Amino acid sequence: KTLACFGYGVCVGALLAFLSIDLASVFALATFALNYVPEVGPFIAMVLPSPVILLDSRLDRPFLVLLTAVSGQLALKFAFSNIIEVKLIESDKKLRMHPVMILLSVGVFGYLWGPTGMLLSVPLMALMKISLFSDL
């Protein structure tokens, strides 16, 4: 996950630097950190540069730059979360789980803790699998 978050943060920083947005490295660091928060974090990171873009007097068309920045970040988020992270997790033997176990854990944790349990179900199952089958 850290490798995927780092790559996503670097790509977002490069995109924002390419668009000549001030504080691109700060937004890249925030994107790296917020990408650990499932689903909500990357979208918060997409909104963070909006005031800087809209209030920058050097930009000729700030709304077009904002649209380009947000659509580029959405494309990067799609690529990293649906392609790169999946390939990284599939290659890890310790974290590989059967899809039925994932669905079962989402159902059980969702029943016990509601939507919060559904969000936490897969990381908790991975943690339980690592702790149960690790060589002590």
Residue 112: exposed, middle, or buried by beta-carbon count in 10 A (0-12, 13-18, 19+)?
Answer: exposed
Task: Please give the pLDDT value at position 68.
Answer: 92
∠36-47-61 over CA atoms, to 5°? 145
Nearest to 11 by CA among 88, 82, 73: 73
**pLDDT below 70 — which residues of the chain?**
89-90, 92-95, 135-136
Percent of residues, the chain, with pLDDT higher than 70: 93
Query: Rounded to an integer, what distance in angstroms lies between the CA atom of residue 34 and that of residue 45?
Result: 6
- List, for residues 90-126, the tens digit of each pLDDT value: 676 666 777 888 889 889 999 999 988 888 888 888 8
| DSSP structural state of residue 98 | -
